[in-house]
Every structure is written in structure tokens, then in C-alpha cells.
Amino acid sequence: MSENDNREPEGQPEASSSPVASEPTVEPAQVESAQTETAQQEKAQTETAQPEPATTDTQPAAAVPSEPEAPAAQTEAPATQAEAPAAQEEAAAPPPARRVETDEEKAARRKAALEAREAAKAAAAQAAAQAAQAGTDGRAAAKAGDGESSEGEEAPPKPPSPKQPLLDKVTRLLRELVAEDAVEEAYINEANDHLPTLVVKNERWLQAASLFRNHTDLQCSYLRNVSGVDYETYMEVVYYPLNMDSRECYCVKVRADRELPSVGSVTPIWETANWNEREIYDLLGIDFPGHPDLKRIMMPDDWVGHPLRKDYVPLDPEV
């Protein structure tokens, strides 16, 4: 089964340095902690600095892949060095004497490992620098391309998205007809067929929704999907209104405070939102004021908590 060996590639450097029996335990731990650090950084960055990850995100992205590779290459040399004394020792000394000797051996090996680690670090830094120069360009493009951020500001000048006029039109309409501050963010999600994506201010959402539905230039009579997402610092409800005649689709996001999340119900505007909102309420605990019958839909009525929240802890210990 190929998916079984889909284990994390971080395991590789450990495996290749395994001849150095006792010391490398430090090393993988370090690699791991470094990775969790970067992971945390990444998380923090994506959470706080969502508008401009095109520049910030690329740094960890470049560092992460080069890190496991570099130590793997570097440790091979010291490993063979350390292996040689180990082999001698096995041949010459009987098992009990060996234990006494290992202390000295250990010191030597520790030194070797330390050197290796430093070398690896240097190599990683070098590789990262190189990657930053050359390799990241593609990555940056891909990163920015997946639409986390503003349109196209990376190094190679890209032609503007074919959907850019659409996005500009909606943004303008919302700013003019709803409120100046109605649109918090607007960008093109390139990976998703250049989907125009907007973040609409929570308080303005209901007005914006009826604009989407009724305005002659939009007429999104079909709401194809409603999703709720728990981003740990805030909640987000994602709507996908669609105009079936012009086949123009948008992604509209509304953010809500995480403690008492509340987003105006669009059930009076699109009837299809009814059960979708009930489901989001049930699984994520987002309140939809204005909903005709907001109650649980999937979980039993007496269920405690909202299972799709990231901090959900099941009450039943057997679950």
C-alpha cells in the first residue's frame, strides 16, 4: 500500500544517521522542535497576517523542505567517521570492556555529531539562502496563486486575472450601495479558477447579501454552498452565490467573533441557507439571528458542545 509509506519525510534523516547509536536522539528532537516551531510560526502568520502571506509565508516554506534534506546529506559523512571506530571496537573489545570504553567513545562521537549538526545547520542556511534566491520564485508564485493574498505582486509581472474586472465591479457596488467599509478584503483565488473572493464586514452582511441577490448587475439567485470554518481566533462563514445566467460565481466570507459568533441569517434571502445554517449552528455553534428555526440538525437535541470546533472535547470518555 503506497499510502502507508506516506509517513512524514522527517523520518528520513533519523534513519540515515542511525549508525550513530545514542547521540542522534538529540538531533531528531531538534529537527522536530524546529519544525513545530516553524509550524507554529506559520500558523501564527496565516492567522494574523492573512492579507500579505505572499512575502511572509515563503520564508518558512523555503526553510522547511531544505532542512530535512540538508542534514540527511551532511550526516552521512560524520556517520561513516563514527562508524569506523564503532566497527573497530566491535572487532577488538569484548562486550563488558566495551561498556567502559563507550564513555570515551561517546565523547568522541558527541563531538562528531556536534560538528555534523553545525555543518548541517550551515548547509541548511546556505540552502535556504540559495532557495530564497532561485527556487522560491516558483513557490512564491504557487503560494500567492492559491489566493491567500492580494492579486499578483510577485516578481514576474503576471497578466491581471481575467476575473479581476468582476471583482472590481462587486467591490465597487458593495462600497457604493452598502457602505464604504463593507468590503474588508477583496482578492482573486487563482487556484480556484480565479474565483473572486470578498470578505464582507459582519454588520453589513445582510445588506450585501440582498445586493448579491437582487442587484441587476449581480442577480445571484442561486446560493450553491454555505460553509462554516473555525479559524481558532475567529469564525468564518463562507457563501458561494452564483448567477446562473452569466455563470458568475463569487466567494463571500463573513467573519465573526469566536466567543459569541453571530452572523445574520440569509434564509429570508436564499431559502437554501436554512438547513445549511442549521448545520453550521449545530456543528460550529455560530448563531444566525433572523433564522426561522435555528436548532440542531445533525446531533441530538441534548448534545453538549459543537463538534467541529477546534477546541471541542467530547463529554463521553468512550468516544
Partner 1 sequence: MIRTEELLLNVGPQHPSTHGVFRIIVKLDGEVITEATPVMGYLHRGTEKLAENLNFTQIIPYTDRMDYVSAMTNNYVLCHAVEKMMGLEIPERAEFLRLIVMEMQRIASHLVWWGTYLLDIGAISPFLYAFSDRERILGLFNELCGARLTYNYMRVGGVKWDAPEGWIDRVKTLVKDMYNRLDEYHNLVSGNEIFLSRIKGVGQYDAETAINYGLSGANLRCTGVQWDLRKAEPYSLYDRFQFDVPVGKNGDCFDRYQIRMAEIEQSLRILDQALEQFPGDGETMGKVPRVIRPPAGEIYVRIESPRGEIGCHIVSKGKAEPYRLKFRRPSFVNLQILPKLLVGENMTNLVTILGGIDIVLGEVDC
- Write out the three cell numbers for 75: 550526516
| Residue span binding partner 1 (CB under 8 A) among the ranges 38-46, 153-161, 162-170, 176-184 | 38-46
Q: What are the φ/ψ torsions at residue 153 (nearest 5 degrees)?
A: -115, 15
276 part of the interface to partner 1, by CB under 8 A: yes
- Name 218's Cβ contacts closer than 8 Å, sequence gap at least 6: 170, 173, 211, 212, 241, 243, 248
Distance CA 24, CA 302 (A): 51
CB of 308 to partner 1, least distance (A): 6
Q: Which is nearer to partner 1, 68 or 78 (CB)?
A: 68
CB of 23 to partner 1, least distance (A): 27
Bridging pattern class, strands 251-257 and 195-200: parallel
Q: In what helix (H) or strand (E) does residue 74 lie, and over which residues does it extend?
A: helix 58-92
41 part of the interface to partner 1, by CB under 8 A: no
**Site track for partner 1 across 92-121, x = CB under 8 A:** ------------------------------
| Residue span binding partner 1 (CB under 8 A) among the ranges 5-13, 19-27, 68-76, 77-85 | 5-13
Restricted to residues 186-215, the positions that interact with partner 1 (CB under 8 A) are: 189, 191-192, 195, 197
Q: Are 222 and 271 in contact (CB under 8 A)?
A: no
Restricted to residues 222-261, the positions that interact with partner 1 (CB under 8 A) are: 222-225, 227-230, 238, 240, 244, 247, 251
Q: What share of the chain is helix, strand, coil (3-state, %, to 5)?
A: 50, 15, 35
Q: Which is nearer to partner 1, 117 or 143 (CB)?
A: 143
